[in-house]
Amino acid sequence: MSITQDEARKQLHERGLRVTAPRVAVLRVLAETETPLSHTEVLERLGDAGWDPATIYRNLVKLRDAGVAPVVSRAEGIDRYALAGSRDDGHRHPHFACEDCGRVACLPAELTASMSVDGAWATSVQKAMVQLRGECPECLERAGEAPR
Ligand SMILES: [Zn+2]
Ligand SMILES: [Zn+2]
């Protein structure tokens, strides 16, 4: 789901955030990708437009704090951000981190539906960041095609 400059501006306005060029750029990259991205991955996608990495980082944090782009994955200690509005469930689903290619993908929420519990742990489990690690289907396929 890519968004226009105007849509990005509107989203910032709605959250009471000041509209700045880096903020709009970060928002558009996150909207385009839909899956969670790290600071480095956002920079990669922004390309060589000359963005200062520290500025981009500050804006990611700002978007995170405003609830626009929460951290939804923490594979290998790396925070990955995703637009809360890019998925109906706000990315409250498990994510899969590939140990081979390093990408983080969204998995269907049904995978953890059986984990829902009553009692003391109910809210904790509901809010927990579920992260699976292993090899993604593409890497498995590549490995099968060209065994080393
Ligand atoms: Zn992979
Ligand atoms: Zn997700």
90-110 per-position pLDDT tens digit: 898 999 999 999 999 999 888
Q: Which residues surround ligand 1, an ion (CB under 5 A)?
A: 98, 100-101, 136, 139
How do the domains of the chain map onto residue ranges? 5-145
Question: Beta strands of the chain (E only): which ranges?
Answer: 71-73, 80-81, 95-98, 104-106, 131-134
Q: Give this prediction's pTM.
A: 0.86
Ligand located closest to 103 CA: 1
Q: How far away, in angstroms, is 47 Cα from ligand 2 center?
A: 23
Q: How far away, in angstroms, is 4 Cα from ligand 2 center?
A: 22
CATH class of the 5-145 domain in this structure: mainly alpha
Q: How far away, in angstroms, is 38 Cα from ligand 2 center?
A: 13
CB 82 within 8 A of CB 11: no
CB 8 within 8 A of CB 2: no
Q: What is the largest CA-CA distance in the chain?
A: 53
Q: What is the CA radius of gyration of the chain?
A: 17
Flag the least confident range among 57-61, 84-88, 105-109, 129-133.
Answer: 84-88
Q: How far away, in angstroms, is 124 Cα from ligand 1 center?
A: 29
pLDDT bucket at 61, cuts 50 / 70 / 90: very high
